[in-house]
Amino acid sequence: MNQAKIEKLVSRLRYNVGSKPRKLKNVDGPEGRFRKIKKTLTAVIKYERIELNYARADETRGYVERLISEALRHGPEHGETMELANFWIKEKQLVHKLFKVLVPRYQNYTTSFTKLHNAPCIYPGYAYKRAILELKGNVYPTVEQSNPHQHNLLHNILLDAARKEYRMEKYKEIAANMNV
Amino acid sequence: MYQRCKSLCFASNLQSRYKSILSKIEAKERRNLLFEEEKKRQRTAVGRIEKIEVKYQSPVEEVTLIMNKCISTPMDCAKHISEGVSKVSAIAMVDGSPWDMNRPLLSNCELKLLNLLSPENKLVNTAFWRTCSFILGAVVDIAFKQDVTVHLHSFPVPVIKSGSFIYDVYLDLADWKPTDQEMRALSAQYVKLINKELPIERIEISESLALDMFQDNPIKMTQIPDIAKSNNNKIILYRIGDYIDISKGPMVGNSSLIGRCTIAAVHKIPEKENLYRFQGVALPKGIILNQYAYGLLENRARKFNNTSWSVFSEENNEVEDAKVFGRN
């Protein structure tokens, strides 16, 4: 059968898309779901880093990724892409940002364009998980904090030494067995 | 089980050998008294108070503090900077050389505070390990009943990679093999002492005063002249609570920096009469390790630690903190 390859029709997203779309329950039904996603998507493109409920962040992430990848593929001259951008982005000046700022930024990316972090629930908080959704390559300091002196931490030194000792014992054992 | 546990002294059980109890407690009291007097004397010897400038580079800005010469310590500076800094700082670097948190600053300097959770310099870890040995000495000193003669010997250079911190102690017990309960009891004592969150004080004294202070401990008495010879006739003392010991330092500023800890084993040192090596393992507060990984460390700490064994057999007295100041 002559079937078109799916990758040629739709750009492949570089993150794990969930198996089912979330309903994002609200009184307006599917229309309300669009409204919610539009609002969050616009905010992500505007502020480049936002904190919100995990489910909504994860759901919006796919739409942001898809929109940017379409913009990358077809550019502003492509009618359908422009229509798509006009539909999802609520503020018109951000459509310019999409094509003039984000497209050049992500031109050579081989990874996803967004990043989703788990955020802490601050006491007393609600039951919902929190998340931070950000566009990569933004100007803010990083969310993740790594310790540059990790190898100097005492427990790492101790565990390293313990591992070395264990290896040495094993080598000795092997050597002893070889002679016999 | 209970009978064995009783050989460790937890309560002031004053019935047996009343005389020796008093002499030991008296010796300790006297040592503390001398320590206090010497500290007071050194404080008054400062005389007119002069001011010094201490520069500190915080992650945000450069701070200049005006402090008192020969009185203010890095801990005082840290308290001015912030409460958080003063709680986590383990040792200070003054113009690039290690400095105890509770040792007065002598002149204008640049201050850097090191902590154990992001150790820029391995020196912090060594200081931590040394402090653990020192506190182990304090625990062993109070843990036994009064009818057991305990003379603290020394703790060798801290080697973290050997897997355990150690303290060598002379015990008047032939072939003592501690039971599991006794080891737990020792560990519990250790935790109790740490939880008091005591500051670790430092003082420099002359040889003659040191001999006067440690006259109840024949082993230390023989060590002191050698230590003084290698250190410009000065002996450096550290004190936690009411326990005083000789060490070249540096040590961390407060016992609250020690988190999880275990006294893992007691081994008899071969070819030495009644000399026992107490071994333990500890982690800084704030480092969280799962039980399995910590179990590995504990098991390793149970093996006999033969650190500085060759040095030990050759020159007995040099072992006592033969640590050179700026080493590693």
Chain B hits for A149, CB-CB cut-off 8 Å, are: 118-120
In the prediction, which pLDDT does B92 show? 94
In the prediction, which pLDDT does B308 show? 65
B18-36+123-319: what fold?
A: Threonyl-tRNA Synthetase; Chain A, domain 2 (3.30.980)
Of A149, A158, A159, the CB nearest to B120: A149
Closest chain A residue to B120, measured at CA? A149
Task: Map tokens 């031109």 to a residue.
Answer: A107
A6-135: what fold?
A: 50s Ribosomal Protein L17; Chain: A, (3.90.1030)
Q: How far is A147 from chain B (nearest CA, A)?
A: 7
Domain coordinates of chain A in residue numbers? Answer: 6-135, 150-179
Question: Does A159 contact B296 at a Cβ distance shorter than 8 Å?
Answer: yes
What is B6-43 written as a DSSP string? TTB--S---SS-HHHHHHHHHHHHHHHHHHHHHHHHHH
Chain B hits for A162, CB-CB cut-off 8 Å, are: 163, 296-297, 300
Of B119, B160, B300, the CB nearest to A165: B300
φ and ψ of A15, to 5 deg: -150, 165
Distance of alpha carbon B49 from alpha carbon B307, whole angstroms: 45
For testing contact with chain A, the best of B60, B164, B279, B296 (most A CBs within 10 A)? B296
In the prediction, which pLDDT does A137 show? 94
Distance of alpha carbon A133 from alpha carbon A141, whole angstroms: 14
Which regions of chain B carry the CATH code 3.30.980.10? 18-36+123-319
Of A148, A149, A158, the CB nearest to B160: A158
Please state which CATH number belongs to domain B51-115: 3.10.20.30
Distance of alpha carbon B324 from alpha carbon B317, whole angstroms: 15
Strand-strand pairing, B109-115 and B51-57: parallel
The pLDDT profile of chain B, 328 residues, written as one tens digit per residue, is 455 544 444 444 444 444 445 578 888 999 999 999 999 999 999 889 999 999 998 888 899 999 999 999 999 999 999 999 999 999 999 998 999 999 999 999 999 999 999 888 889 999 999 999 999 999 999 998 888 888 898 888 889 999 999 999 999 888 889 999 999 999 999 999 999 999 999 999 999 999 989 888 888 888 898 889 888 888 999 999 999 999 988 999 999 999 999 999 999 988 778 889 999 999 999 999 999 999 999 999 999 988 764 444 333 333 444 433 333 3
The pLDDT profile of chain A, 180 residues, written as one tens digit per residue, is 688 888 788 888 999 998 999 999 999 999 999 999 999 999 999 999 999 999 999 999 999 999 999 999 999 999 999 999 999 999 999 999 999 999 999 999 999 999 999 999 888 878 899 999 999 999 999 998 888 888 899 999 999 999 999 999 999 999 999 876
In the prediction, which pLDDT does A96 show? 96
Distance of alpha carbon B250 from alpha carbon B74, whole angstroms: 13
What six digits make up the tokens of A69? 């990848």
- The number of CA neighbours under 13 Å toward the Cβ of B310 is 0
My answer on whether omega of the bond before A124 falls inside 30° of 0, hence cis, is yes
Which regions of chain B carry the CATH code 3.10.20.30? 51-115
Interface predicted TM-score (ipTM) of this complex, two decimals: 0.83
pLDDT tens digits for range B185-211: 999 999 999 999 999 999 999 999 999
- Residues 6 or more apart whose Cβ sits within 8 Å of residue B160: A154, A157, A158, A161, B125, B126, B129
B122 at interface of A, judged by CB pairs closer than 8 A: yes
